[in-house]
Amino acid sequence: MLIEYLPIAILLVISTGLAALIVWIGNTFGPRRPTLRKSLPYESGMNPIGPGTRRMPVRFYLVAVLFILFDIEVVFFLPWAIVFRQLGLFGLIEMFVFIFILLVGYVYAWKKGALEWE
Protein backbone atom coordinates (compact mmCIF):
# COMPACT_ATOMS: atom_id res chain seq x y z
CA MET A 1 0.00 0.00 0.00
CA LEU A 2 1.16 3.46 -0.85
CA ILE A 3 0.44 4.91 2.60
CA GLU A 4 3.26 2.78 4.05
CA TYR A 5 5.78 4.76 2.08
CA LEU A 6 4.56 8.11 3.41
CA PRO A 7 6.62 7.93 6.65
CA ILE A 8 9.68 6.97 4.60
CA ALA A 9 9.25 10.01 2.37
CA ILE A 10 8.77 12.25 5.40
CA LEU A 11 11.80 10.73 7.12
CA LEU A 12 13.85 11.27 3.95
CA VAL A 13 12.98 14.97 3.99
CA ILE A 14 13.42 15.39 7.76
CA SER A 15 16.73 13.54 7.99
CA THR A 16 18.23 15.33 5.01
CA GLY A 17 16.96 18.64 6.36
CA LEU A 18 18.33 18.01 9.85
CA ALA A 19 21.74 16.97 8.53
CA ALA A 20 21.85 20.01 6.24
CA LEU A 21 20.86 22.22 9.17
CA ILE A 22 23.71 20.81 11.26
CA VAL A 23 26.19 21.49 8.47
CA TRP A 24 24.82 25.01 8.13
CA ILE A 25 25.13 25.69 11.87
CA GLY A 26 28.72 24.49 11.85
CA ASN A 27 29.40 26.69 8.86
CA THR A 28 27.88 29.75 10.52
CA PHE A 29 29.28 29.51 14.04
CA GLY A 30 32.78 28.39 13.16
CA PRO A 31 35.54 30.94 12.56
CA ARG A 32 36.70 31.55 9.01
CA ARG A 33 40.39 32.36 8.67
CA PRO A 34 41.53 30.56 5.55
CA THR A 35 45.22 30.39 4.75
CA LEU A 36 46.80 28.61 1.82
CA ARG A 37 48.64 26.12 4.02
CA LYS A 38 45.45 25.24 5.85
CA SER A 39 43.42 24.75 2.70
CA LEU A 40 45.87 22.43 0.94
CA PRO A 41 44.78 18.77 0.84
CA TYR A 42 46.50 16.85 3.63
CA GLU A 43 49.39 14.76 2.43
CA SER A 44 51.30 13.93 5.59
CA GLY A 45 52.71 17.44 5.83
CA MET A 46 54.14 17.55 2.30
CA ASN A 47 52.93 19.85 -0.42
CA PRO A 48 50.49 17.74 -2.46
CA ILE A 49 51.97 16.28 -5.62
CA GLY A 50 49.73 16.17 -8.68
CA PRO A 51 45.94 16.03 -8.73
CA GLY A 52 44.05 14.39 -5.90
CA THR A 53 41.93 12.14 -8.05
CA ARG A 54 44.07 9.43 -9.56
CA ARG A 55 43.49 6.30 -11.59
CA MET A 56 42.55 3.31 -9.50
CA PRO A 57 43.59 -0.34 -9.99
CA VAL A 58 41.38 -2.58 -12.13
CA ARG A 59 40.97 -4.92 -9.15
CA PHE A 60 38.25 -2.71 -7.70
CA TYR A 61 36.35 -2.98 -10.95
CA LEU A 62 36.41 -6.77 -10.84
CA VAL A 63 35.18 -6.75 -7.27
CA ALA A 64 32.26 -4.57 -8.37
CA VAL A 65 31.44 -6.90 -11.30
CA LEU A 66 31.43 -9.95 -9.03
CA PHE A 67 29.22 -8.08 -6.63
CA ILE A 68 26.68 -7.06 -9.29
CA LEU A 69 26.21 -10.65 -10.44
CA PHE A 70 25.71 -12.04 -6.96
CA ASP A 71 23.54 -9.09 -6.02
CA ILE A 72 21.12 -9.74 -8.88
CA GLU A 73 21.09 -13.42 -7.99
CA VAL A 74 20.20 -12.64 -4.39
CA VAL A 75 17.44 -10.25 -5.40
CA PHE A 76 15.93 -13.15 -7.37
CA PHE A 77 16.04 -15.30 -4.22
CA LEU A 78 13.97 -12.95 -2.13
CA PRO A 79 10.49 -13.38 -3.67
CA TRP A 80 11.17 -17.11 -3.81
CA ALA A 81 12.06 -17.30 -0.11
CA ILE A 82 8.70 -15.83 0.84
CA VAL A 83 6.56 -18.35 -1.00
CA PHE A 84 8.71 -21.47 -1.13
CA ARG A 85 6.50 -23.25 1.45
CA GLN A 86 3.59 -23.17 -0.99
CA LEU A 87 5.65 -24.10 -4.02
CA GLY A 88 6.03 -27.83 -3.72
CA LEU A 89 9.02 -29.84 -4.83
CA PHE A 90 9.15 -28.26 -8.28
CA GLY A 91 9.82 -24.76 -6.97
CA LEU A 92 12.55 -26.06 -4.69
CA ILE A 93 14.27 -27.90 -7.54
CA GLU A 94 13.96 -24.87 -9.81
CA MET A 95 15.76 -22.73 -7.27
CA PHE A 96 18.50 -25.30 -6.77
CA VAL A 97 19.04 -25.41 -10.54
CA PHE A 98 19.32 -21.61 -10.46
CA ILE A 99 21.85 -21.74 -7.61
CA PHE A 100 23.78 -24.55 -9.31
CA ILE A 101 24.20 -22.66 -12.60
CA LEU A 102 25.51 -19.66 -10.69
CA LEU A 103 27.84 -21.88 -8.67
CA VAL A 104 29.45 -22.92 -11.96
CA GLY A 105 30.42 -19.28 -12.52
CA TYR A 106 31.56 -18.98 -8.91
CA VAL A 107 33.81 -22.04 -9.15
CA TYR A 108 35.21 -20.70 -12.44
CA ALA A 109 36.02 -17.38 -10.80
CA TRP A 110 37.70 -19.15 -7.90
CA LYS A 111 39.79 -21.46 -10.10
CA LYS A 112 40.74 -18.58 -12.38
CA GLY A 113 42.03 -16.66 -9.36
CA ALA A 114 39.60 -13.79 -9.74
CA LEU A 115 38.76 -13.94 -6.04
CA GLU A 116 42.36 -13.20 -5.07
CA TRP A 117 43.70 -9.72 -4.44
CA GLU A 118 47.15 -9.28 -5.87
Residues 81-100, interacting with another protein (CB under 8 A) = 81-87, 90-92, 94-99
What residues between 3 and 22 interact with another protein by CB under 8 A? 3-8, 10-12, 14-16, 18-20, 22
Contacts with another protein, 28-67, as mask; x by CB under 8 A: -xxxxxx-x-xxxxxxx---x--xxxxxx-x-xxxxxxxx
Minimum Å distance from CB 74 to another protein? 4
CB of 66 to another protein, least distance (A): 7
Q: Is the dihedral of CA 10, 11, 17, 18 positive or negative?
A: positive
How near is the Cβ of 61 to another protein at its closest, in Å? 5
Contact 117, 62 (CB under 8 A): no
Cα gap 17→20, rounded to integer Å: 5
Q: Which among 73, 61, 69, 68 is positioned nearest to 117, based on CA atoms? A: 61
Is residue 79 within the footprint of another protein (CB under 8 A)? yes
